[in-house]
Structure 1
Amino acid sequence: MTENTRLVHATPEQVWSVIADGWLYPLWVVGAARMRDVDDSWPTAGSKLYHSVGSWPLLLDDETEVLDATPGRSITLRARAWPVGEAQVHLRLDSVGVETEVRITEEPVSGPGALVPRPLVAPSLKWRNTETLRRLALVAEHRK
Structure 2
Amino acid sequence: MSIEERFIDASPDDVFRVFGDGWSYPSWVVGASRVRAVERAWPEAGAKISHSFGVWPAVIDDTTSIVEWEPPRRVVLIARGWPMGEARVAFALKPVSGGTHVTMTEDAVSGPGALVPRAIQALLLGPRNRETLRRLAWLAEGYREGTTD
- TM bucket (normalised to shorter chain) is over 0.9
Q: What SS is found at the alignment partner of 1:89? A: strand
Structure 2 gaps, min length 5:
none
Q: What's the CA shift for 1:95?
A: 0.5
Q: Aligned partners of 1:119, 1:98: CA distance in 2, in Å?
A: 33
Count of matched residue positions in the alignment of Structure 1 and Structure 2: 144
Q: Aligned partners of 2:12, 2:80: CA distance in 1, in Å?
A: 26
Q: Work out whether 1:68 is the aligned partner of 2:46.
A: no
Q: Aligned partners of 1:74, 1:37: CA distance in 2, in Å?
A: 23
Q: Equivalent residue for 1:13? A: 13
Q: What SS is found at the alignment partner of 1:26? A: helix
RMSD: 0.9
Residue identity matched to 1:60:
I
Residue identity matched to 2:142:
H
TM-score (norm 2): 0.93
Structure 1 gaps, min length 5:
none
Q: Aligned partners of 2:95, 2:58: CA distance in 1, in Å?
A: 39
Q: What's the CA shift for 1:92?
A: 1.1
Q: What SS is found at the alignment partner of 2:40? A: coil
TM-score (norm 1): 0.96
The aligned runs of 1:34-73 (5 Å cut-off) are: 34-73=34-73
Q: Aligned partners of 1:119, 1:75: CA distance in 2, in Å?
A: 24
Q: Does the Cα contact within 8 Å between 2:3 and 2:122 map onto a contact in 1?
A: no
Give CA-to-partner distance per residue, 1:65-98, whole Å, 9 cap, x none.
1111102211111100111110001001110123
Q: Aligned partners of 1:135, 1:124: CA distance in 2, in Å?
A: 18
Structure 1 outlier segments of 4+, above 6 Å: none
Q: Equivalent residue for 1:82? A: 82
Residue identity matched to 2:97:
G
The aligned runs of 1:117-136 (5 Å cut-off) are: 117-136=117-136
Q: What's the CA shift for 1:24?
A: 0.3
Give CA-to-partner distance per residue, 1:40-66, whole Å, 9 cap, x none.
111111000100010111111000011
State, as a whole percentage, how many aligned pairs show the same letter.
Answer: 50
Q: Does the Cα contact within 8 Å between 2:2 and 2:121 map onto a contact in 1?
A: no
Q: What's the CA shift for 1:123?
A: 0.8
Q: Equivalent residue for 2:102? A: 102
